[in-house]
Structure 1
Amino acid sequence: MARLLGILSIFVLLVLRPARAAAPSCPTVTAKLASCISYIDDQSTQPASACCAGVKAILAQAKSKQDKIAVCKCIKSALANLGNKVDTGRVSGLPKICGMSVNLPPINKNYDCSKISWMELSHS
């Protein structure tokens, strides 16, 4: 009986522990960053507030290195679809211009996402 109680206790702890949030999916990343397009292709001088909200949401969800790699690959793919009109300096500067203390590398079609590392999200 004591053994059964021990097994049940472990099972309950495993079931009730908080689950780790998964990295956002590529469609989510693309949707959240869609409002950034006019800024990163030099059509506007400032990113839209929805763009900054999307950047903050995506970076807040990308906790582990694997999450960051996944987000990087999504961004890389989305940028490739936009063609040559993307200003990669504006892409990497988005977190800073949106008031975040995050260093985002210059992601472009040749960037190796497995080498990505950026600081934890902290608001300026």
Structure 2
Amino acid sequence: MDRIHILSVVAIYCFLSGPMVVAPPSCRQIIPELVPCVPFFMGLVLQPSILCCTGVRVIKEMGKTTEDRVAICNCAKEILTRLVLYDPKQFPLLDKRCGIDLNYPPISKDFDCKK
């Protein structure tokens, strides 16, 4: 191999092995996961559906960093506070009801997701 090929291979390796910057989850990703939970958030059912709990698991996997969790919280806040019958106390109940350690507080329209 000549030097150009070797340098090309090394450059490609360095590029591919460098740190990957991943954007926090968007509302487009989060909304479909929360939609099955709406009846639970509104207090219309006592137990979240299987689809709701599956979505909550997906959201938990999205929340790997603090920045991710703030983005998830802000999106949830934007969506949930638009529901007429939304009860902020329902969101933290997902932990126990779905058996997932999501660990989010009650999210109301005044809640600061950065805290």
Give the TM-score band, short-chain normalised.
Answer: 0.7 to 0.9
Mapping for residues 35-114 of structure 1, pairs under 5 Å: 35-83=36-84, 85-114=85-114
Name the CA distance, whole Å, in 2 between partners of 1:55 and 1:22: 19
Instruction: Give the counterpart letter for 1:41 in structure 2.
Output: M
- Identical amino acids, percent of aligned pairs: 31
Give aligned pairs, total. 114
Name the CA distance, whole Å, in 1 between partners of 2:114 and 2:41: 23
Structure 1: runs of 5+ lacking an equivalent: 116-124
Give the TM-score, by structure 2 length: 0.83
Deviation at 1:22, TM superposition (A): 4.0
The answer to whether the 8 Å contact 1:32/1:58 transfers is: yes
Name the CA distance, whole Å, in 1 between partners of 2:59 and 2:5: 43
Name the CA distance, whole Å, in 1 between partners of 2:54 and 2:103: 17
Deviations 1:58-80 (A, max 9, x none): 11111111111111100000012
The answer to whether the 8 Å contact 1:39/1:47 transfers is: yes
Instruction: Give the counterpart letter for 2:110 in structure 1.
Output: N
Deviation at 1:94, TM superposition (A): 0.8
Give the TM-score, by structure 1 length: 0.78
Greater CA deviation, 41-50 or 23-32? 23-32
Deviations 1:39-64 (A, max 9, x none): 11111111000000001101111111
Deviation at 1:27, TM superposition (A): 2.0
